[in-house]
Every structure is written in C-alpha cells, then in structure tokens.
Amino acid sequence: MSGPSGPGGGPGFHAGELAVQQRAGVREEAARLTRMLDPADLRGGLGRFLAGRTFAALTARDHDQRLWISPLAGSPGFLSVRSATTLDIAAAPRPGDPLHGLPAGQPAGLLVVEFAARRRVRLNGTLAAAGPGALVIEAEQAYGNCPQYIGQRILAPIETGTDHPGADNPVRRGTGLTAGDRALIRAADTFFLGTTHPDRGNDASHRGGTPGFVRVEDDALWWPDYPGNNMFNSFGNLAVDPAAALLFADFGTGRTLHLSGTAAVDWTGPGIAGDDGGTGRRVRFTPQRVVSGRLLPARTVATGQAYPTPPLTG
C-alpha cells in the first residue's frame, strides 16, 4: 500500500517501492503512474464495478497478529459503496478461515477480481468494522490494475445453503504441506498474495501463470516474476517487511489453501532455469502456518481463454 510521500506530502511510493523500482531500472516508468495513488474515490465507474462482483481477497491479521489473505464471496451487490471512501461488504471470512472473527481497527488490503473480463481493483485502507457476515473498509487508495496474467473463468452464481466447514468438511491446521496441498499448488494458474508495510498497511494482489509456474520444493515455494506495471507494490513491501501470505483456491470444489509465512525476492539475473518471464527475479516463500479446507462456496466454473503467459523453462 502506498501513501503520502511525494513532494509537498502528496501521494507517492514508499521507500521500499522506490528502491525496487530503482534496482529494476523502471523509476521513470513507475513515476508516470503516481496519480493512481491519489486518495480513493469509490463512486462512479469504480463503484459500479465493485457492485457487480462476486469475489474478493482480503489481507489482514488475525488476533495473534499473523498475516493472512482470505477469500470473500457473495452475490452481486455484496460489495456496496456507501460514500467516496466507505465500502460495505456483506460477507466475512467463514468459520474455519484463519481470519474468521478478525479484529477491526487494523489495516486492510482488498483485491476485487472479475475473472471473465480480466479486470481487478486494489483497495487499501482500514478495516473500520468487522462482525458476523459483514465488514466495513475505509479506503485510502483504490485503483485498477491491468488484465495481465488473469486466467479467464466464468463463475456461476452462488447458490444458497452452500456447504460450511463441519464434521464432514474438516479444516486442517498445521505447519507443513501435504501431498494434496502440493498438488493444488502445482495445478494452480492463479493465487493471491498478501504483503504488508509497517506504516502503509496491508496489500492484496494477484499472481497468474501457466499451471506449474509456482514451484514446490519440500515445504518451500518459489515463482518467477513476470513483467508488470512497474509499480512493485508487493516487492516494495517485501523489501521492508518479509511477512507474506498466499491463498490458493479451487473455485469448483470450494477448496482453499491458506499459507502464512515469509517471502523474499531473489535477483538471480535473467536467463537461468525457471526465469520464465525473463526478468531475472523470483520470489521465495517459506510457510510457517497452513490452513486447508473448503472455505469457499463451491460453484460451477466455465474456463475461458488462458492469458498468454510465458512457458515454463525449468
């Protein structure tokens, strides 16, 4: 999450983002996007986009101050703009989710995605209220991201009475990955990344690629970085604070895999095995806590056109 840091106290990138942009050689390109960090205004076209969505991912901390990223789902209208900076959410992390019952009054990062149209909006601010089945976010920034690397899928409407965790749908908590967890990761063309900054708060972002782009080695994960918008919000946060969270989801079954741990950016240089995007950058993630279960409503999913992502190189 970015905030006031530019000349005269205006919007700008924080020191971690600027350092990563400098190392990547894209400071000038990123500077052209600074207006995206202006104070949020959720009205108009942005509000109409939010009102029609059925999925979002929330980055926040649990009662033990551990960072997680969790799914939120609902029918169109479950995201409702109350004012230029206030977003009402008629959903909350479900029972069994690591953020179930999360405390209010903390930074929150929200990513809202429309997979069919390949559109997404990042919203950062404060979780002003949290209760059973409802959240309120006071937004500081809200801006759209490019459609890059979003695999197209059409999600059917959520049916009432969809399953919740229970005796026939247990939630597993642990510190290591199972064979099923590794299979879910290796089959994924999408996951969600949560990062944080001690002053600027929490952020939620999307990563996509050819299935297999997230590599699993024992209980550690890594993935290559692809060319993007050059803002480096997530990398900038990791340059300051290594805390990170991942969310993998199977929308057809409702199965989710939440991982909380630490991440670091490796600047490997371009052309080595696994440098699929040719950037010479990859992210290493070490999970410390694992939560696995069916924590999303199961939906019928129609798969559309895959986004043209770099082929796997090793």
Predicted confidence (pLDDT) per residue in 28-83, tens digit: 998 988 888 888 999 999 999 999 999 999 999 999 999 999 999 999 999 999 99
Whole-angstrom distance, CA of residue 232 vs CA of residue 269: 17
Domain 3-303 superfamily per CATH: Electron Transport, Fmn-binding Protein; Chain A (2.30.110.10)
Contacts of 79 (CB under 8 A, 6+ apart): 50, 51, 53, 56, 87, 88, 89, 90, 112
- The per-residue b/e assignment along 228-264, b for 16 or more CB within 10 angstroms, e otherwise, is bebbbbbbbbbbbbbbbbbbbbbbeebbbbbbbbebe
Q: Where are the domains of the chain?
A: 3-303
Whole-angstrom distance, CA of residue 146 vs CA of residue 232: 13
Rounded to an integer, the average pLDDT of 241-265 is 97
Rounded to an integer, the average pLDDT of 182-197 is 97
- The confidence score (pLDDT) of residue 168 equals 66
- The confidence score (pLDDT) of residue 233 equals 94
Lowest pLDDT segment from 9-23, 45-59, 87-101, 133-147: 9-23
Q: What is the pTM of this model?
A: 0.94
User: Given a cut of 70, is residue 6 above it in pLDDT?
Assistant: no
> How would you class 64 by CB atoms within 10 Å of its CB: exposed for 0-12, middle for 13-18, buried for 19 or more?
exposed
Higher pLDDT, 277 or 163: 277
- The confidence score (pLDDT) of residue 162 equals 56
